[in-house]
Amino acid sequence: MTSFELEPETFCVISPAFSLFLILRPPILTQAANVFDLSSIREALMHSKPFFDGWVGRLIELGNSDQPSTWRLVERLGDKNDQLSAEEHNVASESNISYGKPSAAYGAFRCQNTSDPDDVAFMKIIMQIPWAGAEFVSSTERAKQADNTNLPRYAQWEIEPLEILTKNNCQAAPHIRTHRETVQEQNEMVPGGFIHYILMEHAPGDRLTEDKFWNYPDDERNKIREAFRVAWEECVRAGVVPCMAALWHLFWDSESSKVYLVGFNHSQPVSSDEDDGKWEDNEWIYWGLAQYPDEENYAPDEGPNADKSKWIL
């Protein structure tokens, strides 16, 4: 059994089914001398079995009777899920934690308004899925699992931060344009189960990747880090502490020298704790914008003025 050292302020939940860490704040995880990639740990908490195959090209009706709109899904950008087996669901329910809720698939798409091809947006789709193995039973059997009121915690973490940031007019994150909540049809994964279509503004600039970021010249990387700090603090002022730390959740607009955050799963509303939402330079590490040295017994400083003399910037 591998033991992990967790900083005291770290809060995590361990699923009785998976024995995985569900990280709510980016901790410093160490195993002996090695520093783990936090974004990889988060990614491991979600499964990659696709549930949105064949969705590209599909038309999604949004808006209302007064202002209807139709959107064509043109590119799939993400396809993850938190699917449990029936046994795991029951174990979680009996242990009285929120994993006893239905599973969901989380799709991310670039989409286009069919009435205005220049109107390009981003759509998140959150769809109830059946327990593992039940995908192959009849739709009548799958419909018995339908739940259109209880969302998995992942889904709550996805929706609530976006609603807060939109309500408070945060300028560092894309706003929700339309959020349609409905139920699945008879021919879909869980007939009668929930499905959410969240249409968002498409962030300007280029999505960052590890290769792209580290191939920028030093001065541009410095600009991106400073712009990220401005964006992170803007989100905090708007009521959300961004915690879904990963480079691919950042867009860099070089023309305006601005960073936009587009992923908020695991993020939390700012609490009354006076230390909640205070910037620390270690955020650059968590989001992949800097690296710790691969040295034995290296322990990074904490606080707003961390010693970065050994950091890879």
Amino acid at 156: Q
Which residues on neighbouring strands pair with residue 252, listed in sequence order? Answer: 206, 259
* Structure confidence at residue 87 (pLDDT): 74
What tokens were used for 298?
A: 């290296």
pLDDT over threshold 70, residue 32: no
Q: Select the CATH number that applies to the domain covering 59-201 from these four: 3.40.50.300, 2.30.30.30, 3.30.1330.10, 3.30.200.20.
A: 3.30.200.20
HSE, CB side, 13 Å, CA atoms: give it for residue 133.
Answer: 5
* Domains 59-201 and 206-286 are alike in CATH topology: no
Asked if the 206-286 domain carries CATH number 2.60.40, the reply is: no
* Structure confidence at residue 65 (pLDDT): 61
pLDDT class of 95 with cuts at 50, 70, 90 = low
Query: 269 or 66: whose pLDDT is higher?
Result: 269
* Structure confidence at residue 126 (pLDDT): 93
Distance CA 125, CA 168 (A): 23
Average pLDDT over residues 20-46: 38
pLDDT over threshold 60, residue 8: no
pLDDT over threshold 60, residue 121: yes
Distance CA 88, CA 130 (A): 13
Average pLDDT over residues 18-36: 35
> Which residue shows structure tokens 């803007």?
234
Least confident of 72-86, 173-187, 219-233, 292-306: 292-306
* Structure confidence at residue 166 (pLDDT): 95
Strands 12-14 and 21-23: antiparallel
Contacts of 3 (CB under 8 A, 6+ apart): 31
Q: Using one digit for the tens of pLDDT, what is the confidence trace for 195-238?
A: 999 999 999 999 999 999 999 999 999 999 999 999 999 999 99
pLDDT class of 31 with cuts at 50, 70, 90 = very low
* Structure confidence at residue 13 (pLDDT): 33
* Structure confidence at residue 125 (pLDDT): 95
Residue extents of the structural domains in the chain: 12-44, 59-201, 206-286
pLDDT over threshold 50, residue 67: yes
Q: Using one digit for the tens of pLDDT, what is the confidence trace for 139-190?
A: 998 998 898 877 877 788 888 999 999 999 999 999 999 999 999 999 999 9
Query: 272 or 110: whose pLDDT is higher?
Result: 110
What tokens were used for 11?
A: 């809060």
pLDDT class of 113 with cuts at 50, 70, 90 = very high
Cα dihedral across residues 52, 54, 55, 56: positive or negative: positive
Q: Using one digit for the tens of pLDDT, what is the confidence trace for 177-187?
A: 999 999 999 99
Contacts of 19 (CB under 8 A, 6+ apart): none
> Which residue shows structure tokens 């280029």?
206
